[in-house]
Amino acid sequence: MKTRAVDARASKKSGNGVEEPSQAVDHIFDGVNREYQEMFSVFDSDSDGLIDKHEIFDLLEKSGILLNDARIQQTVEAIRKFSSPKINFSDFKATIGENSSLFKNIIQQRLIIPEFQTFCEEIREIFETVRSNRSGKVADYIPELGRIDPEKYALSVTTVSGQRYAIGDSQTPFCLQSTSKPITYCLALEEHGREKVHEHVGREPSGRGFNELSLNHKDLPHNPMINSGGIMSCSLIRSDLNLADRFDYILQAWSKLSGNARLNFNNPVYLSERETADRNFALGYFMREKKTFPAGSDLLQTLDFYFQCCSIEIDVEGLSVVAASLANGGVCPISGEKVFSSTTVQNCLSLMGSCGMYDFSGEFAFSIGLPAKSGVSGAVMVVIPNVMGFAIWSPRLDAQGNSVRGIEFCQHLVEQYNFHIYDSIVVDSSKKKDPRLKKNASKIEAVVQLCWAASQGDLFEVQNLISNGANPDGADYDGRTPLHLAASEGHEAVVLYLTSKCRNISPVDRWGGTPLSDAKKSGKLQVIRFLEEASLAHLAGNGASALQI
């Protein structure tokens, strides 16, 4: 306010009518003020200059932004502090303060999933459908995993806009097991770069079990997503530190990626892992014999570090934030902190996409088409790049060691939504939903594109759009259809094509015009002839497609 008063006093027009800087500042100020006013009026439905503070909280929750989201803590606390249930414009403006961009995005439905509630309801339905699948068996190679209730079941999703949703046993911790491997690999990449890391670990799917005693033709682990590769990544992380500090280092990365989620260390799991780790020891000795480890590595310490990483505990809520941080190119969406470089994440997602689901990875890449990583605790994290991250936890595993329900959930997910990475090139992917669009946005956009192509006489694009599902009878806000536009511009080939596709060849726009009257108005004789003949043919029930140019 002080700044405005000073500026207002200084405000003058120069002789030539050009605004002086103080006036420009005033304009910016007015623009900002108007934006706050617009936001305020969304809540102030009865225009009495007061809004119910719970409406703000309701909108946040409906949009998927949790009230404990670190980004809006100050705002939420400030709103709570008001003693009265209603707040006026200046209080609103003062409290929204530094979160104004986020609020603006929420109000204008510009978060990545605009209809978040609908999306959550649909996800819940899939979750419940999958619950009935009781096949598979809980891992029992250590007693701690064998004792887990097989009925445990949880799911959480976090979007790159920080929208969150969780169902089931979503706050019950489980150990990371192999879901730790992508993050261990990212840390190795951040420290050494891709070339150095891949001197020690390959990047091909192994096609074998996750703990198979085998190396590739260069005597390297096949990839960082199986046990040998996970052990190798561990050997590459902060070997200058003692074991306690190395563990702390990795825990900090998990904490940042998960937006400060609850993390535990399960000591019984760790002790059991170490006790029963003959195969992992064998892999370690095998790699040491082949001189695969970086110089100076201590094998027993490396294995210990690996068992510790497997024994970190998290819940699906936290793991979905980690998946979302990967989806978001290494930036945690609920804290805004950059944890990994985007190229590190790109490398990691590439390998999750080809190797993340053990020896089911090829089939998963084919049919689900998303980077994912599973662990023998029954956890699966799935990344939809630039959109969201999912975490599913259900302890019963299939023969490959993947969570049975986790896999089934993913299958339903890509059946309903266009999330498979190659859905974008499928002609009829319109059958799948795109939750990134506002309600009807895809239909509206298709009509706009079709009208534009028709007005330009771009027959190829018109055909392309219609065969991709655009409705040839669709109209814009004024009732103008592609046929109106093609007719008034005299694009004969497009008119002919559209008359063969439209159900109604005499649509009426808001001014009472039809394609034929438009063609007459602009004197497009050929088009007038087509349309008159087409009308007759339609009337005679022959359809217009028999017409020839």
Which residues of this chain interact with ligand GLN, rule CB under 6 A?
177-178, 210-211, 227, 273, 280, 310, 375-376, 401
Rounded to a whole number of angstroms, the minimum distance from the CB of residue 151 to ligand GLN is 20
CA distance 434 to 318: 25
- Is residue 374 a contact partner of residue 179, using CB atoms and an 8 Å limit? yes
CA distance 231 to 273: 13
Name beta bridge partners: 383: 389
Rounded to a whole number of angstroms, the minimum distance from the CB of residue 178 to ligand GLN is 3
For 153, residues 6+ apart whose C-beta sits below 8 A from its C-beta are 127, 131, 168, 169, 393, 394, 405
Rounded to a whole number of angstroms, the minimum distance from the CB of residue 407 to ligand GLN is 14
- Is residue 352 a contact partner of residue 373, using CB atoms and an 8 Å limit? yes
Rounded to a whole number of angstroms, the minimum distance from the CB of residue 410 to ligand GLN is 17
DSSP tag of 294: P
Residues in the chain: 549
Which stretches of 390-458 are DSSP H helices? 404-416, 441-456
CA distance 233 to 260: 24
Other beta carbons less than 10 A from residue 85's beta carbon: 10
Q: Which lies closer to ligand GLN via its Cβ, residue 400 or residue 455?
A: 400
- Is residue 393 a contact partner of residue 174, using CB atoms and an 8 Å limit? yes
DSSP tag of 83: S
Q: Which lies closer to ligand GLN via its Cβ, residue 227 or residue 335?
A: 227
Which stretches of 201-341 are DSSP H helices? 227-236, 243-257, 267-275, 278-289, 299-310, 316-327
CA distance 1 to 29: 10
Rounded to a whole number of angstroms, the minimum distance from the CB of residue 144 to ligand GLN is 11
- Token duo for residue 320: 């979905």
The single-letter code of the amino acid at 293 is F
- Nearest partner of 236 among 197, 202, 198, judged by Cα: 197
Q: What are phi and psi of 404, to 5 degrees?
A: -60, -50
Rounded to a whole number of angstroms, the minimum distance from the CB of residue 242 to ligand GLN is 23
Rounded to a whole number of angstroms, the minimum distance from the CB of residue 355 to ligand GLN is 12
DSSP3 helix / strand / coil % (the chain, rounded to 5): 55, 10, 40
- Is residue 66 a contact partner of residue 102, using CB atoms and an 8 Å limit? no
Q: Which lies closer to ligand GLN via its Cβ, residue 63 or residue 227?
A: 227
Rounded to a whole number of angstroms, the minimum distance from the CB of residue 309 to ligand GLN is 9
Q: Which lies closer to ligand GLN via its Cβ, residue 237 or residue 462?
A: 237
Q: Which lies closer to ligand GLN via its Cβ, residue 297 or residue 308?
A: 308
Rounded to a whole number of angstroms, the minimum distance from the CB of residue 174 to ligand GLN is 11
Q: Which lies closer to ligand GLN via its Cβ, residue 237 or residue 527?
A: 237
Rounded to a whole number of angstroms, the minimum distance from the CB of residue 389 to ligand GLN is 19
Rounded to a whole number of angstroms, the minimum distance from the CB of residue 278 to ligand GLN is 10
Cα dihedral across residues 403, 407, 408, 413: positive or negative: positive
Q: Which lies closer to ligand GLN via its Cβ, residue 103 or residue 210?
A: 210
For 252, residues 6+ apart whose C-beta sits below 8 A from its C-beta are none
Q: Which lies closer to ligand GLN via its Cβ, residue 358 or residue 497?
A: 358
Q: Which lies closer to ligand GLN via its Cβ, residue 72 or residue 226?
A: 226
Q: Which lies closer to ligand GLN via its Cβ, residue 202 or residue 401?
A: 401
Rounded to a whole number of angstroms, the minimum distance from the CB of residue 258 to ligand GLN is 18
Give me the sheet containing 372-374, strands edge to edge: 164-168, 154-159, 388-393, 379-384, 372-374
- Is residue 373 a contact partner of residue 356, using CB atoms and an 8 Å limit? yes
DSSP tag of 204: S
Q: Which lies closer to ligand GLN via its Cβ, residue 272 or residue 292?
A: 272
Name beta bridge partners: 160: none
- Is residue 130 a contact partner of residue 136, using CB atoms and an 8 Å limit? no
Q: Which lies closer to ligand GLN via its Cβ, residue 177 or residue 206?
A: 177
Rounded to a whole number of angstroms, the minimum distance from the CB of residue 415 to ligand GLN is 27
For 512, residues 6+ apart whose C-beta sits below 8 A from its C-beta are none
Q: Which lies closer to ligand GLN via its Cβ, residue 227 or residue 239?
A: 227
